[in-house]
Chains A and B, each alone.
Chain A
Amino acid sequence: MLSTKVTDCNAHGQDSSYFLGWEEYEKNPYDEIDNPNGIVQMGLAENQLSFDILQSWLDNNPDATAFKKNGQSIFKELALFQDYHGLPAFKNALVKFMSEIRGNTVTFDPNNLVLTAGATSANETLMFCIANPGDAILVPTPYYPGFDRDLRWRTGAEIVPIHCSSSNSFRITKSALEDAYQQAQKHDLKVKGILVTNPSNPLGTSLNLHELDVLVNFISTKNIHLISDEVYSGTVFSSPNFTSVMEVLKNRNLVNTEVSKRVHIICSLSKDLGLPGFRIGTIYSENGDIISAATKMSSFGLISSQTQYLLSEMLADKKFTKTYLSENRRRLKHRQETLVKGLQKAGIRCLKGNAGLFCWVDMRHLLCSKTFQGEMELWKKIVYDVRLNISPGSSCHCCEPGWFRVCFANMSEKTLVFAMQRVKSFVESMTKKNSNQSRQEQIRLNHARRTKSLPKWVFSLSTHPLEV
């Protein structure tokens, strides 16, 4: 009765562990006062650190939410505005903001911008524009679990992973790209492009110049697209500075060339400004055909004109944007350090990160077995016993078990510190248990050695008192 998009249930990806952890949290959410034993949500990449700065701007600029401009009502104008080209004032302010985030190393033309209801919509729309059903897009692992739905569900496209590993800090290499490309060909899949997230979710690192060069060279040779999802660009809080792929094209004199027409950026205000509810996403491209098609497609996911207007006023306030960006970065840096240090105290290391709202945490040493099953077991312990919802690397398609994404910007500092204490206690108890177990193991081994010469029936009668 219903389409295959409904009956092929897993393409929406809703049943992955990523979402199951959320469900557990929903059933038993931590609250400092009302539910101190509840689950602390550390699986949500939200930026809750700088709302006070936003609120203060709102208090000083009441017209922006009252549908007024210079004291005059523009309600009717906004209520009727549904032009898919977007509110010009908003696009103009947005491109300047995008530039500012990138240290003004590149400028953006508002005519090359398409507005969409969130980056979720932007990513899907771009896929509709570059891939036919059955075509493939290469995506480095680990990647944001939502991509399985966003890039594949309604588009019918396939994701072929570019495997990255801890051996080189999960950096994208030329050989990994080649392998992925060949894998796709082996399966008769036509590769239409690569999608990278820069800064990376879940790694919390920005791509380095070498990686960016490798990517640009690769798409050049293979004549495919490069989508750079830069939704976390405003969350780079320590060096190296963020380098957008646009900057690389500029530096290599590739602007206005055939290659640059295959490079597209995704931006959003959900992470940088902490406004995921407002659904503000964008596609930026120098490819006129893509912009034309994507603009028409944006009819299916336009941004509310009420929201476009509010943000046009906010982002046009340069004093605000400057203050916000620097203060937000400072706060993110501090939070990340709190998380990293807290984990360190528990003997847990993180990948060295410089961006994002999360850390990529190495818990391989805590696995019972170095398998994904072992990872799941550890994850369940962390969700149900330690009562922290964190995201297992397998849900991000990481090829090595034992890595977890842990968010740090969606709770108060107090809650974060408290969560770290729970982690420390958990690791301590695990270590104790392990050392007991290894002591038991040692005793058993000694026993086995001493009794090796006795017949088997002797052992079947003995039950070691400490074995459980």
Chain B
Amino acid sequence: MAIEIVQVQPSVGLSKMAVSQTHGEDSPYFAGWKAYDENPYHETNNPSGVIQMGLAENQVSFDMLEEYLETNLESTNWGQKVSGFRENALFQDYHGLLSFRKAMASFMEQVRGGKAKFNPDRVVLTAGATAANELLTFILADPGDALLVPTPYYPGFDRDLRWRTGVQIVPIHCDSSNGFQITPEALEAAYDHATKMNIKVRGVLITNPSNPLGATVQRKVLEEILEFVTRKNIHLVSDEIYSGSAFCADEFVSIAEVLESRKYKDSERCHIVYSLSKDLGLPGFRVGTVYSYNDQVVTTARRMSSFTLISSQTQFLLASMLSDTDFTQKYIKINRERLKKRYEMIVNGLKKAGIECLKGNAGLFCWMNLSPYLEEPTIKSELAIWNTIMHEVRLNISPGSSCHCSEPGWFRVCFANMSEETLEVALSRIHAFIKERKQVL
């Protein structure tokens, strides 16, 4: 069924939107953060605190960024020229800094190993992928319409795609029988379900590589999805914010490559979302983009981006950084290697504890299977074990139910937002917990 939007009586003077719960911040996903905030782990000051493993941040490659900044000061102080600063401070053109758009297009190409070309004139800049996803939804769908989204999905979508847009999410159910891959049957089922409820489907939104699965979408599946959206005459949004986090460059296939290989036939229904928050580890700088093969979408998205422009100061800095291709090539390669190493560390550590993960190849997290350890195969049991992990094992991880997973017992566990030492501590805690659990069960 469609994910429900909770309606509340509007308080005097505020809009229905302001008082609705559609921002989703009362879900258990955020309760875990609260537990962490109240008792955060610290190696020396609070070694028994809660370890944050629910935050998909990339902290493994800051040294490379800092090194770049040390040697390229003019990217941060406009070369100390008044005219440079003035020009930049005045720049609020929603087309975005040309040098930055070019650098973004080039970076997106590099991340895809040159297997797809990007035109800077199709790059629309937004303050983060959060804004990009919402903006695209405003453009592609009317209030009451639906987007089909494969489960499990990033909990933030409930807010980003639905809250202010009034658009609904109808889930495309995926399960572990095939590694949670999207199937044509699941697509059809979701579409039919929406139709039965008299909801107009405007598009499919996938995340590739997937959050929370930590796996890339196979080429064959991308082609099937493309065939499906073409047949139904709807849109396809591919959120590729984790594209630079694929451990092996070859294993990630972007929708851009598939479109290029078919000479962009039917591409005007396709749109890509990208961001520097995950690949470069810069979520604070608010750098997102909508890349669309549809001219009208590009024009409208640009105008709408007025509500969410990227600071020109930040555009200037990153234009400089990303157009330094020696730096970016090196960064992309080393970043991948480090993430791969972290992934292997956590997956092997979990295996030693008797926990299996979905075979992943990308992202900042792994998709962990605790279903053998649930008392019952229910969400209730999932939340019970999650509670235990949060308060006793003292790890904040994300329960699959918060990602709308149809199978209870799966958890997303982040590995790139802490030091290796902290990760070891977390693994040893899990090890101890499972050992005890096995004895009980």
Contacts and interface: CB of A to CB of B under 8 A. Distances in A.
Contact of A5 (B11, B85, B139): B139
A79 B297 contact: no
B140 A3 contact: yes
Interface stretch (A50-58, A105-113, A420-428, A440-448): A50-58
A382 B307 CA distance: 32
Contacts of A6: 139, 296-297, 300
A279 interface: yes
Interface stretch (A235-243, A293-301, A429-437): A293-301
A298 to B, nearest CB: 10
B422 interface: no
Contact of A128 (B18, B76, B140, B160): B18
A153 to B, nearest CB: 8
A66 B68 CA distance: 12
Contact of A76 (B15, B62, B143, B300): B62
A78 B66 CA distance: 12
Nearest to B235: A1
A125 to B, nearest CB: 8
B17 interface: yes
B77 interface: yes
B130 A300 contact: yes
Given A6-B296, A300-B127, A302-B128, A80 B303 contact: no
Given A66-B73, A132-B15, A279-B92, A5 B303 contact: no
B69 to A, nearest CB: 7
B288 to A, nearest CB: 10
Given A4-B142, A58-B85, A277-B313, A14 B303 contact: yes
B281 A278 contact: no
Given A12-B303, A79-B281, A66 B76 contact: yes
Interface stretch (A116-124, A160-168, A354-362, A395-403): A116-124
A279 B139 contact: no
A58 B77 contact: yes
B90 interface: yes
How many chain B residues sit at the interface, stated as a range, is 35 or more
Contacts, number: 214
Nearest to B73: A66
Interface in B268-299: 269, 277, 281-286, 296-297
B82 interface: yes
A458 to B, nearest CB: 61
A273 to B, nearest CB: 8
Interface string A65-76: 111000001011
B303 A65 contact: no
Nearest to A294: B18
A448 to B, nearest CB: 55
A354 to B, nearest CB: 25
A307 B311 contact: yes
A20 to B, nearest CB: 15
A129 interface: yes
B231 interface: no
Interface in A176-194: 192
B140 A130 contact: no
Nearest to A129: B18
A290 interface: yes
B123 to A, nearest CB: 18
Contact of B283 (A79, A121, A129, A276): A79
A392 interface: no
A130 B15 contact: yes
B310 A304 contact: yes
Contacts of B395: none
B76 A296 contact: no
B164 A154 contact: yes
A2 interface: yes
Contact of A67 (B25, B76, B281): B76
Given A75-B66, A300-B127, A121 B314 contact: no
Contacts of A293: 14, 17-19, 23
Given A75-B62, A76-B62, A278-B89, A3 B141 contact: yes
A310 interface: yes
B353 interface: no
A149 interface: yes
A75 B284 CA distance: 10
Contact of A117 (B65, B309, B317): B309
A146 to B, nearest CB: 8
A5 B57 contact: no
A289 interface: yes
A223 B57 CA distance: 45
Nearest to A44: B90
B138 A154 contact: yes
Interface centre among B66, B88, B164, B313 (most CB of A within 10 A): B313
A214 B311 CA distance: 38
A157 to B, nearest CB: 9
A224 interface: yes
Nearest to A305: B284
B304 interface: yes
A76 B73 CA distance: 16
A254 interface: no
A128 B17 contact: yes
28 contacts: A2-B140, A2-B300, A3-B202, A4-B142, A6-B139, A48-B86, A51-B85, A52-B82, A58-B80, A65-B77, A67-B69, A73-B66, A82-B283, A117-B307, A129-B18, A223-B12, A274-B89, A277-B311, A279-B310, A289-B19, A293-B18, A296-B25, A297-B164, A302-B127, A302-B286, A306-B314, A306-B317, A307-B313
Given A55-B82, A76-B59, A132-B17, 15 more contacts: A1-B233, A5-B142, A12-B304, A67-B76, A75-B65, A79-B283, A82-B284, A117-B309, A128-B15, A279-B127, A293-B19, A296-B23, A301-B307, A302-B127, A306-B311
